Amino acid sequence: MPGDKIIRFMSLTCSLQAAACSALNRTFLDNLGYLCYYALYGNIMMKKILLLYISNNSGHHRATKAIEEAFRLITPDIRIQNINCFNYTNPILEKVINSIYNKVIKIKPEVWEYLYDNPKIVRKTKTLRKLIHKFNSKKLEKLIQDFKPDAVVCSQAFPCGMIADLKKTYDLKIPLVGVLTDYAAHSYWMYDNVDTYIVPSAQTKNRFIECGIPAERVYPYGIPISPRFSRNSDKENALKTLRLESGIPTILIMGGGQGLGPIEDLIYAVNTIEKPFQVIVVCGTNLRLRRWLEKRRILFRKKMLILGYSREVDMLMDAVDMIVSKPGGLTTTEALTKGLPIVIVNPIPGQEAKNTEFLLQEGVAVKAEDPLHAGILIEELLNNSQRLRQMKAAALKHAQPQSAVNIAKLVLTLIQKNST
């Protein structure tokens, strides 16, 4: 080990005791590992990472935040820009497209199902997508010129495609990493100029290989979630912190960061269950939903904790016995990491429908046809502790709590290789 690295390592180990008591409450060995990595890779400190996603408070956004968190654990003095690419390049178009997408999903979901990963649509829109990339690339070009990132990491296919086109047009040598946030790959991800793909599973990796992407460029590291999810679960302490009862089942109802889905109807459905239990409802940014629940709390026969947008989902999942949710990639991955059985409701055609197929196939979830059916499935699971244990064991088989950390380490390795 070179002398400067030994000195850096010795100085950093002096901070181990403080790090062991950090806000994330990581274990001593976790901190030792991060600091050793920091010492050994000190020659790439002060490098710059550009993280790109679309839509605030989305799974794509949470993925880049998880990766940023991991980078800062490993390399505290790294420089990072974490940017909503669509909003940055064309905020007006972002609002229009988001509005259209939400209306299509709500009113005509079958339209989105037809458009999603349809080979005919992919081929017919190739020229249009290139024009959109070109039209929206000016600000992105300037961003890259000014920030001079050593690597670009994208959690959604749109910014990944834009950067891939820029790399091709200007012969850029910046490592580009595409990070999937759902359990099935779609054709809009496939670009020759993406150096590395991070995928959720071996099955997803096989899809990329079938599409002509070399196997050595695809890493099944999992969907990135906050390193906080790697902490050991402490159910009793979580229940105490949340002021919930110990000794009875606890159910978590979520609708993603935006509080989507038929949560009002779900509340009515679970209210008919006779077995004792308590409920945590996370409304996300949906203030209307939260107000609706607060007004009707008195009608609910069980204890109910109502929350808005939460940054402590890891602790909420520690406290519960199952989750009722739309099968978004991030929420699903967090639940698997905590070993939670999942009751799936109202999956969006396309990506969430594919996630549902994966979860049902792996035996970690049941799918409700409607909120009333969800209530029936929840009651059945509450009365079948053996089935719950089987689903929990199946979920833990797919847990990859270090996904974000592994992605960050891989990106730093790519930077190092690119600089030699």
**If DSSP states are collapsed to H, E and C, what string results for the chain?**
CCHHHHHHHHHHHCCHHHHHCCCCCCCHHHHHHHHHHHHHCHHHCCCEEEEEECCCCCHHHHHHHHHHHHHHHHCCCCEEEEEEHHHHHCHHHHHHHHHHHHHHHHHCHHHHHHHCCCHHHHHHCHHHHHHHHHHHHHHHHHHHHHHCCCEEEECCHHHHHHHHHHHHHHCCCCCEEEECCCCCCCHHHCCCCCCEEECCCHHHHHHHHHCCCCHHHEECCCCCCCHHHHCCCCHHHHHHHCCCCCCCCEEEEECCCCCCCCHHHHHHHHCCCCCCCEEEEECCCCHHHHHHHHHHHHHCCCEEEEECCCCCHHHHHHHCCEEEECCCHHHHHHHHHCCCCEEECCCCCCHHHHHHHHHHHCCCEEECCCHHHHHHHHHHHHCCHHHHHHHHHHHHHCCCCCHHHHHHHHHHHHHHHHHC
Q: Can you give the pLDDT at residue 413?
A: 95
One domain, residues 66 and 169: yes
Q: Are residues 30 and 63 in the same domain?
A: no
Lowest mean pLDDT among 40-44, 180-184, 310-314: 40-44
Q: What is the pLDDT of residues 74-121, one digit of tens each?
A: 998 899 999 999 889 888 877 887 778 777 777 777 777 677 777 777
CA nearest to 155, candidates 82, 204, 259, 257? 82
Tokens 């690339």, residue located:
137
154 and 178 assigned to the same domain = yes
Considering the domain architecture, whether residues 184 and 330 belong to the same structural domain is answered as no
For Cα atoms 181, 283, 108, give the angle at the middle one, nearest 5 degrees.
65
Q: Are 302 and 279 a contacting pair, CB within 8 Å? A: yes
Domain shared by 54 and 140, yes or no? yes
Regarding whether 63 and 15 lie in a shared domain, the answer is no
- Indicate whether 352 and 274 sit together in one domain: yes
pLDDT range class, residue 11, cuts 50, 70, 90: very low
CATH number at residue 184: 3.40.50.2000
Q: Please give the Cα distance from 358 to 225 (Å, whole number).
A: 18
Q: What is the pLDDT at residue 320?
A: 97
Residues in Cβ contact with 96 at an 8 Å cutoff, skipping those fewer than 6 apart: none
CA 301 to chain centre: 33
Intra-chain end-to-end CA distance of the chain, in Å: 18
Beta bridge partners of 363: none
Q: Which amino acid is at 44?
A: I
Q: Are 251 and 393 contained in the same domain?
A: yes
* Residues 4, 134 within the same domain: no
Confidence of residue 20 (pLDDT cuts 50, 70, 90): very low
Q: For residues 156 and 188, is the Cβ–Cβ distance under 8 A?
A: no
Query: Is the confidence at residue 3, as pLDDT, over 50?
Result: no
Q: Are residues 369 and 243 in the same domain?
A: yes
Structure tokens at 337: 């990491």
Q: Average per-residue pLDDT in the chain?
A: 86
Q: Of 9-13, 157-161, 268-272, 407-411, give the range with the top mean pLDDT.
A: 407-411
At 196-219, the pLDDT tens digits run 999 999 999 999 999 899 999 999
Q: Do both 265 and 317 map to the same domain?
A: yes
- Look at the block and give the residue holding tokens 């909003």: 87
One domain, residues 67 and 27: no
Do residues 267 and 300 make contact, with C-beta atoms less than 8 angstroms apart? Answer: yes
Residue at 40: amino acid letter: L
Range of the domain at 236: 232-397
Q: What is the mean pLDDT of residues 221-227?
A: 96
Which carries the bigger pLDDT value, residue 23 or residue 304?
A: 304
Q: How many residues does the chain have?
A: 420
Cα separation, 322 vs 397, in Å, equals 16
Total domains in the fold of the chain: 3
Tell me the pLDDT band of 6, cut-offs 50, 70 and 90. very low
Residue 234 has pLDDT above 50, yes or no: yes
